[in-house]
Amino acid sequence: MSPQAGQSLTHPQRHPRVMAEPCFAWTAGTQSCFRKRGGCGVMLDSAHCSRLGGLMRKTPCVYILASRGNGTLYIGVTSHLAGRVNLHVQELVPGFTARHHIHSLVYYEMHPTMEAAITREKQLKKWNRLWKIRLIEQANPEWTDLFNRESGEIADLPADDERRKF
């Protein structure tokens, strides 16, 4: 039985390469399953699939991962932060982050366009290490991992929480 448009159902298939959990809700809707390659092809409503950080609107962002506090850094750009970080955490992206076990999301910033995000990524990659560490510590002084591995959600930067108090 196929769902009616707007009717939410539990997603019947798991995404073993992404998470051990199934997508939590799906709707006959507008976007294909998060895992286009090897995914199940079920159409997802953009407000659902919260277990993978949501498909959400594509929001370009630059992010910094670290192996530990003051450890090895990796700078990247993506339009789906939670999904990309999850791939790094599970070491499904072969390369530098998997070789050096870089899994902690310690900094990110959103941008209005992918072009702006790529420009910022290139700028940050040219910075010396001390400048990058200062940037992280201004926003996240404890080097807290901002990616919740159980829920797939991205936390606000601690500096953002402080600004909201006033």
How far apart (Å, rounded) are the C-alpha atoms in residues 38 and 66? Answer: 29
CATH of residue 87: 3.40.1440
Helix (H) or strand (E) holding 106: strand 104-110
- pTM score of the predicted model: 0.66
The Cα–Cα gap between 113 and 100 comes to 30
Please name the amino acid found at residue 85: V
pLDDT digits (tens, 9 = 90+) for 45-96: 333 343 344 444 578 999 999 999 989 999 999 999 999 999 999 988 789 9
Picking from 84, 161, 70, the residue whose alpha carbon sits closest to that of residue 117 is: 84
What is d(CA 30, CA 108) in angstroms, rounded to the nearest whole number?
27
The answer to whether residues 33 and 78 belong to one domain is: no
* Cβ contacts of 120 within 8 Å, gap of 6 or more: 62, 77, 109, 111
Query: Rounded to an integer, what distance in angstroms lies between the CA atom of residue 138 and that of residue 19?
Result: 32
72 and 142 assigned to the same domain: yes
The answer to whether residues 82 and 8 belong to one domain is no
Cα separation, 36 vs 147, whole angstroms: 22
Q: Is the pLDDT of residue 139 over 90?
A: yes
Q: How far apart are CA 138 and CA 124, in angstroms?
A: 15
With a CB cutoff of 8 Å and minimum separation 6, the contacts of 91 are 97, 98, 101
9, β-bridge pairs = 26
Same domain? For 83 and 137 the reply is yes
Residues 2 and 65 in one domain: no
Do 41 and 116 belong to one domain?
A: no
Single-letter residue type at 33: C
Q: Quick one: 118 and 79 in the same domain?
A: yes
Indicate whether 65 and 7 sit together in one domain.
no
Q: What is the pLDDT of residue 94?
A: 86
Of the listed ranges 7-11, 129-133, 134-138, the one predicted with least confidence: 7-11
pLDDT tens profile 18-55: 333 333 333 233 333 443 333 443 333 333 343 344 44
The tally of domains found in the chain comes to 2
**Residue 86: domain span:** 61-165
Cα 134 from Cα 158, distance rounded (Å): 14
